[in-house]
C-alpha cells in the first residue's frame, strides 16, 4: 500500500482542471510538471532554510516556498501531498564502490562472522547457491571480531575447494586469503618478491594464503572478467538498494574504463537513474587516455578525477604511519607507490583540469600527500584535490587542508567501526588525531561525507548518525567516541548533499532544493534535525526522486 499517493485526479482531466482554475483567476499560471506540498523541506541552501512546498519542471526545481504561493503561481501536471513528512535533497555518497558492491551481491557476505568456522560455513552455502560460479569469492571477514585474532590460513580452503579458485577479502579489502588453486593460477610462490605488501608465510616459510595490499594485485591478471550482460542485473539490483536508502548520487572511488562505459550506457538507456561521479583508477593507461580525452561533466555522469592510492588500511597495518604501530613496534606500514611516483603523477594531473583524489589513511601518507598536493598546485586556486579517508593526521599537518585547499573526503562509519581497535593500533595519544572530522571541517570549511560501501553499509543515515553521535548501530559508546570531533546535524546533512557535490564541482547542479538545481530529493518519515540520536539509523526513506521522476517508493 502506498503511504501517500499523488493528487488523485486522472491524468486526462488535469488540463481541464487547469483550464477551469484559469477561468476563475486573473493571472495565467505557469505549467509545471510537479508540485510537492505539505512537507517540511530542508533545502540545504546557503542559509539552511526550510520550506513547505516546491515546484519542478523539466527535471529541475523551479520554485521553493509556501504551498499557497506556489499553487497560485503554477498549474502542475502532478501534485504530491507529502502528508507532513520530511524532504531533503537526494543523498550523495561521496566515496563508495558501487560497481564492486553490485558484483558482491553474488558473493559470500562474510561481514559480522564470529569465527573462521562460520566463514567456512558461509562459503559452503554460497557454493550451493551458485553452483555454476567459476570462482568462489567472499568478502567482509574481520579477524578482530574472532576469539583468535590471528589471520586465518588457507588449509581448510584447500581441503574443501581444491579445484576452484577461492578468494576471500578482509572487511577493508586490503588483505585477503586465497587457496592454493588460486596461488598456482597466479604463479605466486614462497619466493615471489613483493614491495608495498605482504605474501603471508608461516614459520617454515610455506605460503599461508594471506595477501596484503600490493600482493593482491598479483591476482589481477587471473581474476575473472565478467561481461556487461552479466553485470547489468547485479548493477540494477544494487541501484534498487541505493534508491531504497535515499541515494541519488554516488562518487565511485576508482573505476576502470570498461566499467565506466557500462555505467554510461545503462544511464543512456534510461536504466540507471543514479548520477555517478566516476573517479578513474590511476593506472598509467587510464591516466594517458583520460588526460587526452579531457573531463566529462553531464547531469548524469562526471569524469573529472583520478583515484590514487598512497597507502593501505589501519586494520591490516598497511596504513603508513610516521611512528611505529603501538601494537607492532617494528612496523610502520608502507606506501603503495613511491613518493617519487606520487609526485610525478601529481605534477601530470596538476597540468590538466582533473582532480587528484588520493586514498591516505596513515599520518605519514597524509603528510606526504598534503605536501605533494601543495607543491603541485602552487599558484592554482580551487582545484579541490581530495584526500580520501584523511584518517590519521598529525596536528601540525592539519592546517594544510585549508592552506592548500584540499577537500577532506571522510566516512564517519569508519570511526565507529574502527573505534574498538584503533586505539590498540595507534596508542592513546595518536588515536586522538584520528577520525578528526570536526577539526578537518574547521580547516577546509567543508567535508565530503561517504560510506566507502561495501566496506560499510550503504545506508547514508548510518553515516549521519556516526558523524553526529559518534556511536555505532548499538548506540555504543554511551556519550560517543571522541566527541570533540562530532559534527552538527546541519553540517552532516550538508556533507551528504551540497558539500559532496562541491567535492566533484557539481554544487551548482545538485545537492540543494533550490530553483535551477536538478530535482533530486528524498521523502523521509523522520526529522533528521530533531530526532533523538537512537532514532536516526532507523529513519525510513518513503520516496526517492531523481530529476523530478519518482524512482523508488516504500511499499
Ligand atoms: Zn574506498
Pick from 388, 453, 452: nearest CA to 102: 453
Tell me, what DSSP letter sits at residue 369?
Answer: H
In this prediction, residue 118 carries a pLDDT of 97
> How far, in Å, from the CA of 23 to the mean position of ligand 1?
58
Using the 3D structure, point to which of 161, 188, 219 is the last residue of a domain: 219
> How far, in Å, from the CA of 97 to the mean position of ligand 1?
6
> How far, in Å, from the CA of 311 to the mean position of ligand 1?
12
Give the model confidence (pLDDT) of 521-532 as tens digits.
Answer: 999 999 999 999
Residue 224 counted as domain residue: no
What b/e string do you get for 60-77 counting C-beta neighbours within 10 Å, with b at 16 or more? bbbbbeebeebbebbbbb
> How far, in Å, from the CA of 327 to the mean position of ligand 1?
25
In this prediction, residue 220 carries a pLDDT of 84
Does 428 lie in the same domain as 297? yes
> How far, in Å, from the CA of 452 to the mean position of ligand 1?
5
> How far, in Å, from the CA of 386 to the mean position of ligand 1?
13
| DSSP letters for 399-434 | THHHHTTPEEEE-HHHHHHHTTTHHHHHHHHHGGGB
Residue 204 counted as domain residue: yes
Strand, helix or coil at 251? strand
In this prediction, residue 172 carries a pLDDT of 87
| Domain hosting residue 21, numbered range | 11-84
Length of the chain counted residue by residue: 555
In this prediction, residue 434 carries a pLDDT of 98
> How far, in Å, from the CA of 95 to the mean position of ligand 1?
6
| Phi and psi, residue 458, nearest 5° | -75, -15
> How far, in Å, from the CA of 360 to the mean position of ligand 1?
10
Tell me, what DSSP letter sits at residue 29?
Answer: P
In this prediction, residue 27 carries a pLDDT of 64
In this prediction, residue 1 carries a pLDDT of 38
Residue 101 counted as domain residue: yes
In this prediction, residue 17 carries a pLDDT of 47
Does 274 lie in the same domain as 368? yes
Q: Which three cell numbers stand for residue 526?
A: 523522520
> How far, in Å, from the CA of 417 to the mean position of ligand 1?
15
> How far, in Å, from the CA of 26 to the mean position of ligand 1?
57
d(CA 293, CA 302): 13
Does 301 lie in the same domain as 390? yes
Pick from 161, 169, 194, 5: nearest CA to 82: 5
> How far, in Å, from the CA of 255 to the mean position of ligand 1?
11
> How far, in Å, from the CA of 96 to the mean position of ligand 1?
6
> How far, in Å, from the CA of 455 to the mean position of ligand 1?
8
> How far, in Å, from the CA of 277 to the mean position of ligand 1?
14
Using the 3D structure, point to which of 484, 506, 528 is the last residue of a domain: 506
Is residue 209 within 8 A of residue 198, CB to CB? The reply is no
> How far, in Å, from the CA of 470 to the mean position of ligand 1?
20
> How far, in Å, from the CA of 172 to the mean position of ligand 1?
9
Does 301 lie in the same domain as 407? yes
Does 315 lie in the same domain as 197? no
Does 445 lie in the same domain as 363? yes
Residue 475 counted as domain residue: yes
Pick from 129, 134, 131, 141: nearest CA to 105: 129
Q: Alpha-carbon torsion 420, 463, 524, 547, what sign?
A: negative
Residues of the chain with pLDDT under 50: 1-24, 26
> How far, in Å, from the CA of 454 to the mean position of ligand 1?
9
CATH code, domain carrying 394: 3.20.20.140
> How far, in Å, from the CA of 453 to the mean position of ligand 1?
7
Number of domains in the chain: 3
> How far, in Å, from the CA of 181 to the mean position of ligand 1?
28
Residue 227 counted as domain residue: no
Is residue 446 within 8 A of residue 89, CB to CB? The reply is no
CATH code, domain carrying 23: 2.30.40.10
Does 151 lie in the same domain as 66? no
What is the reported pTM?
Answer: 0.84
Does 215 lie in the same domain as 312? no
Using the 3D structure, point to which of 55, 84, 113 is the last residue of a domain: 84
Residue 90 counted as domain residue: no
In the chain, the N- to C-terminal Cα span, in Å, equals 6
Does 486 lie in the same domain as 390? yes
d(CA 293, CA 210): 39
Does 443 lie in the same domain as 391? yes
CB within 8 Å of 338: residues ≥ 6 apart: none
Is residue 176 within 8 A of residue 168, CB to CB? The reply is yes
Does 277 lie in the same domain as 153? no
Pick from 252, 369, 225: nearest CA to 307: 252
Our measurement of the distance from residue 397's CA atom to the centroid of its chain's CA atoms, rounded to an integer in Å, reads 25
> How far, in Å, from the CA of 187 to the mean position of ligand 1?
28
- Report strand pairing: 197-201 vs 175-178: unpaired
Residue 387 counted as domain residue: yes
| Phi and psi, residue 471, nearest 5° | -130, 155
Q: Which residues pair with 176 in a beta bridge?
A: 169, 211
> How far, in Å, from the CA of 254 to the mean position of ligand 1?
8
d(CA 389, CA 378): 23
CATH code, domain carrying 197: 3.10.310.70
Q: Alpha-carbon torsion 331, 95, 284, 140, what sign?
A: positive
- Report strand pairing: 549-553 vs 296-297: unpaired
Interaxial angle between packed helices 363-376 and 339-350, expressed in degrees from 0 to 180 and rounded to the nearest 10: 40
Please report which helix (H) or strand (E) contains residue 65, including its range: strand 60-65
Does 347 lie in the same domain as 286? yes
Residue 29 counted as domain residue: yes
Amino acid at each position: 500500500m502506498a503511504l501517500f499517493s499523488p493528487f488523485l485526479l486522472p491524468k486526462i482531466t488535469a488540463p481541464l482542471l487547469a483550464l477551469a482554475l484559469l477561468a476563475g483567476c486573473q493571472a495565467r499560471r505557469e505549467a509545471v510538471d510537479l508540485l510537492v506540498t505539505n512537507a517540511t523541506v530542508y533545502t540545504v541552501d546557503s542559509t539552511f532554510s526550510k520550506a513547505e512546498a516546491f515546484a519542478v519542471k523539466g527535471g529541475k526545481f523551479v520554485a521553493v516556498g509556501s504551498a499557497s504561493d506556489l499553487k497560485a503561481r503554477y498549474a502542475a501536471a502532478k501534485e504530491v501531498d507529502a502528508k507532513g513528512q520530511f524532504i531533503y535533497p537526494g543523498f550523495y555518497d561521496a566515496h563508495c564502490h558501487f560497481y564492486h558492491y553490485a558484483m558482491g551481491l553474488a558473493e559470500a557476505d562474510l561481514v559480522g562472522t564470529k569465527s573462521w568456522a562460520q566463514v567456512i560455513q558461509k562459503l559452503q552455502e554460497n557454493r550451493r547457491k551458485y553452483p555454476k560460479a567459476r570462482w568462489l569469492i567472499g568478502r567482509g571477514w574481520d579477524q578482530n571480531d574472532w576469539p583468535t585474532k590471528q589471520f586465518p590460513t588457507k588449509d581448510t580452503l584447500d581441503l574443501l575447494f581444491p579445484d576452484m579458485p577461492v578468494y576471500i577479502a578482509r572487511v577493508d579489502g586490503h588483505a585477503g586469503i586465497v587457496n592454493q588453486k588460486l596461488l598456482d593460477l597466479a604463479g605466486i610462490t614462497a619466493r615471489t618478491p613483493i614491495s608495498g605488501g605482504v605474501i603471508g608465510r608461516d614459520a617454515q616459510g610455506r605460503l599461508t594464503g594471506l595477501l596484503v595490499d600490493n600482493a593482491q594485485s598479483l591476482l589481477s591478471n587471473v581474476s575473472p572478467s565478467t561481461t556487461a550482460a552479466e553485470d547489468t542485473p547485479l548493477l540494477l539490483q544494487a541501484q534498487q538498494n541505493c534508491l531504497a536508502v535515499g541515494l541519488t548520487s554516488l562518487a565511485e572511488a576508482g573505476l576502470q574504463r570498461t566499467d565506466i562505459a557500462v555505467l554510461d550506457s545503462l544511464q543512456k538507456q534510461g536504466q540507471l537513474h543514479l548520477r555517478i561521479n566516476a573517479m578513474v583508477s590511476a593506472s598509467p593507461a587510464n591516466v594517458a587516455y583520460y588526460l587526452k580525452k579531457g573531463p566529462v561533466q553531464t547531469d548524469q555522469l562526471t569524469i573529472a578525477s583520478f583515484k590514487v592510492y598512497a597507502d593501505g588500511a589501519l586494520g591490516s597495518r598497511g596504513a603508513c604511519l610516521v611512528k611505529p604501530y603501538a601494537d607492532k613496534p617494528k612496523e610502520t606500514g608502507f606506501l603503495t607507490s613511491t613518493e617519487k611516483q606520487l609526485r610525478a603523477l601529481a605534477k601530470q594531473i596538476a597540468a590538466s583540469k582533473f582532480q587528484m583524489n588520493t586514498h591516505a589513511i596513515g599520518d605519514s601518507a597524509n603528510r606526504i600527500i598534503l605536501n605533494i598536493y601543495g607543491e603541485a598546485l602552487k599558484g592554482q586556486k580551487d582545484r579541490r584535490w581530495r584526500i580520501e579517508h584523511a584518517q590519521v593526521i598529525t596536528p601540525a599537518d592539519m592546517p594544510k587542508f585549508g592552506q592548500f585547499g584540499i577537500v577532506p573526503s571522510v566516512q564517519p562509519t569508519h570511526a565507529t567501526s574502527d573505534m574498538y581497535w584503533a586505539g590498540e593500533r595507534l596508542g592513546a595519544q595518536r588515536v586522538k588525531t584520528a577520525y578528526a572530522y570536526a577539526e578537518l571541517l574547521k580547516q577546509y570549511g567543508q567535508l565530503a561525507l561517504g560510506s566507502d560501501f561495501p566496506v560499510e553499509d550503504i545506508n547514508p543515515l548510518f553515516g549521519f548518525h556516526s558523524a553526529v553521535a559518534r556511536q555505532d548501530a548499538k548506540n555504543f559508546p554511551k556519550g560517543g567516541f571522541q566527541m570533540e570531533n562530532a559534527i552538527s546535524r546541519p553540517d552532516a546533512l550538508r556533507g551528504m548533499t551540497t558539500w559532496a557535490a562541491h567535492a566533484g564541482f557539481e554544487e551548482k547542479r545538485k545537492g540543494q532544493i533550490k530553483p535551477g538545481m536538478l530535482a533530486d530529493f528524498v521523502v523521509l518519515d523522520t526529522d533528521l534535525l530533531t530526532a533523538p540520536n537512537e532514532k536516526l539509523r532507523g529513519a525510513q526513506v518513503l520516496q526517492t526522486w531523481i530529476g523530478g521522476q519518482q524512482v523508488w517508493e516504500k511499499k
